[in-house]
Structure 1
Amino acid sequence: MIVFEVPDMSCGHCVGAITEAVKTVDGAAKVQVDLVAHRVQVEPATADAAMLEAAIREAGYTPALA
């Protein structure tokens, strides 16, 4: 399980955009988002933390490993 803190995630659109970004690099990943806590938990199938972080950054957010 890889956990990111994403402080600039603030709404349902953000949740969708981040989930889509993760799925783009790892379609089989399991993604859980806690909007209130600004946390994204990913159980990747093929991607590593760097790939996931890059995808979230490319979507316009600032993830940090928790």
Structure 2
Amino acid sequence: MTEQRIDLGLAASTPASGGCGDGCGCGAGGAASTPTAQTATSELRVEGMTCGHCVRAVTEELTALDGVEVVGVDLRDGGVSVVRIASSGAASDDDLAAAIDEAGYTLAR
């Protein structure tokens, strides 16, 4: 079993133009998505992830949830990967589990 750490750099930097910087028009006003003192952290164990594409799929589903600010993944090819989530608490455990399922992976029990 091989362990690999993938850092997607999801803590956004503040673009000079404001917003998130990718032209989405979100109106974020240049606010960085760095966890705050009011941020809750969760750790999920996910089965079936084997590569960077897997990490992107899970990260995209989780960051689409309201309140999710930062997602970090410790990819363990062929094993159980660890997904850490920093959120404002708006996303429930059921929401997180559904996002993992939607990405095509399974929560380890």
Which category of TM-score, normalised to the shorter sequence, fits these structures?
0.7 to 0.9
Task: Return 5+ residue gaps in structure 2 as ranges.
Answer: 1-40
Q: Distance in 2 between matches of 1:28 and 1:40?
A: 13
Distance of aligned partners of 1:18 and 1:43 in 2 relative to their CA distance in 1, 3 Å threshold: same
Residue deviations 1:2-54 (CA, integer Å, cap 9, x gap)? 11111201100000000000011136421110002611011122212210111
Aligned residue pairs: how many?
Answer: 65
Query: Residue type matched to 1:25 in 2?
Result: L
Task: Give the structure-1-normalised TM-score.
Answer: 0.83
Work out which of the two has the higher radius of gyration on C-alpha atoms and give 1 or 2.
2
- Higher helix proportion: 1
Q: Cα RMSD between the aligned structures?
A: 1.7
Contact 1:8–1:62 (Cα < 8 Å) also in 2: yes
Contact 1:22–1:29 (Cα < 8 Å) also in 2: no
Distance of aligned partners of 1:43 and 1:21 in 2 relative to their CA distance in 1, 3 Å threshold: same
Task: Return 5+ residue gaps in structure 1 as ranges.
Answer: none
Match of residue 43 from structure 1 = 86
Match of 1:17 among 33, 57, 64: 57
Distance of aligned partners of 1:2 and 1:28 in 2 relative to their CA distance in 1, 3 Å threshold: closer
- Higher strand proportion: 2
Match of residue 20 from structure 2 = none
